[in-house]
């Protein structure tokens, strides 16, 4: 098949039929790969959903890198991008391909020897701006990132010849984001330094969607620190506001919400991510992402169920404590009533004993007066020469005196022993 035939097939495809578009682009890419020819057409847009030329080129370079996942192949891809992709679409295509191909070939990290040999070839044929080294460095760094090799990524970005050959590209927001990713996962780097790099990339004027994704990815897999989940949740929420249809940012937001314990919102976010994940496109990447999202959903569900069980357990403990407090309050009230009853009984007993003592004193005083009166009256009656009238007057005076004495004794006793208010 000649170069015109490839383009003709792509020209005839119905763009509105996504499945047909995907099938035709895949067939043309396979034919190009089989014929040993690179895509002969140009790409004018970064529309990975509807531009047949870009979709076909994407399939082709994916096949090339799956077959030989090396920085040499990445360099060839970079040269093709420079020659065939328009300047307006170049940044998006370059970043998406470098990081995307790195993800699907992450199990093939090149050794130091292979890296050195490939770097030597790249540097000898590179442009003065280091464009090829830039793409190849991003591809290799993307593999290290996908494998969470934080220390290796840190060393590669800071000191490798390939990264140094990228020249001014090393100051880009994407390189800074990758450095922040490495810093977040490295136990030798402080969280403050990692957050500083994150903020530098996040606030950059050339921040792209891929920069945001790497920043969020770095926070997600960072060594735990205070405010970890909140930082991921807040930055991911900002990313979702800027890119509401991006399934990956919904996934990052679900992770942040899960880390902060908001399981219901996390479940809603991961379900949205699964709905937004396109059913067409690269079968390999779609399957990997779908498995990743489904695994996260299971983790969120487990956390949600565990939180529900913990909440139920805490509620049972609270109910048990409330019942214990209620029983304790009833017991205290019962003891208080019993104490009051006992105190009342003691007071009544004391009052009764006091009253009995008073009555006894009063009776003694009364009987003493009666006996004294009787004895005195008998003496007056039996002795002396008084007339009857005088005897009666004397006996009456004697009786009045004793009655007065008895009253004084009884009154004094009552006055002394009467109850007093305290």
- Convert the pLDDT of each residue in 168-191 to its tens digit: 999 999 999 999 999 999 888 899
14-28, 287-301, 375-389: which is most confident:
287-301
- 322, two tokens: 């409330």
Instruction: Give me the long-range contacts of 411-416 (CB less than 8 A, separation at least 24).
Output: 413/358, 413/361, 413/362, 413/365, 414/358, 414/362
Cβ count near 177 (within 10 Å)? 28
Q: Percent of the chain scored above 90 by pLDDT? A: 58
CA 113 to chain centre: 44
Residue with tokens 């105190």: 343
Picking from 51, 77, 148, 138, the residue whose alpha carbon sits closest to that of residue 107 is 148
**pLDDT at residue number 151:** 94
71-112 pLDDT, tens digit per residue, is: 999 999 999 999 999 999 999 999 999 999 999 999 999 999
Task: Return the pLDDT at 329.
Answer: 77
Average pLDDT, the chain: 86
Strand partners, 43: 85
Quote the distance between the C-alpha of residue 74 and its chain's center.
Answer: 40
């Amino acid at each position: 098949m000649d170069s015109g035939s490839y383009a003709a097939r792509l020209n005839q495809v119905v763009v509105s039929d996504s499945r047909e578009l995907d099938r035709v682009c895949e067939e043309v890419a396979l034919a190009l790969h089989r014929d040993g020819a690179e895509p002969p057409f140009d790409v004018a847009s970064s529309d990975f959903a509807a531009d047949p030329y870009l979709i076909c080129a994407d399939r082709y370079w994916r096949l090339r890198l799956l077959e030989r996942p090396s920085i040499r192949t990445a360099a060839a891809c970079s040269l093709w991008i420079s020659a065939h992709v328009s300047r307006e679409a170049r940044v998006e295509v370059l970043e998406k391909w470098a990081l995307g191909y790195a993800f699907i070939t992450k199990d093939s990290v090149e050794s130091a020897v292979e890296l050195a040999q490939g770097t030597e070839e790249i540097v000898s044929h590179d442009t003065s701006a280091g464009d090829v080294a830039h793409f190849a460095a991003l591809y290799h760094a993307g593999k290290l990132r996908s494998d969470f090799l934080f220390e290796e990524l840190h060393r590669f970005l800071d000191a490798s010849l390939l990264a140094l050959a990228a020249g001014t590209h090393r100051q880009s927001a994407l390189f800074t984001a990758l450095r922040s990713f490495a810093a977040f996962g490295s136990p030798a780097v402080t969280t403050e330094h990692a957050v500083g790099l994150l903020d530098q990339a996040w606030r950059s004027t050339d921040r792209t969607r891929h920069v945001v994704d790497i920043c969020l990815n770095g926070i997600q897999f960072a060594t735990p620190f205070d405010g970890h989940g909140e930082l991921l949740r807040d930055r991911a929420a900002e990313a979702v506001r800027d890119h509401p249809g991006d399934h990956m940012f919904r996934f990052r937001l679900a992770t942040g919400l899960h880390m902060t314990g908001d399981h219901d919102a996390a479940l809603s976010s991961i379900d949205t991510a699964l709905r937004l994940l396109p059913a067409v496109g690269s079968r390999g990447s779609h399957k990997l992402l779908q498995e990743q999202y489904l695994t996260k959903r299971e983790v969120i569900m487990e956390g949600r169920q565990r939180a529900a069980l913990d909440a139920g357990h805490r509620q049972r403990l609270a109910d048990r404590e409330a019942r214990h407090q209620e029983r304790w309050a009833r017991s205290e009230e019962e003891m208080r009533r019993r104490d009051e009853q006992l105190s009342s009984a003691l007071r009544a007993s004391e009052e009764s004993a006091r009253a009995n003592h008073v009555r006894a004193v009063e009776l003694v005083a009364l009987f003493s007066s009666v006996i004294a009166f009787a004895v005195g009256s008998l003496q007056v009656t039996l002795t002396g020469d008084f007339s009857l009238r005088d005897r009666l007057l004397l006996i009456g005076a004697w009786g009045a005196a004793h009655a007065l004495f008895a009253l004084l004794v009884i009154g004094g006793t009552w006055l002394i022993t009467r109850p007093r208010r305290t």
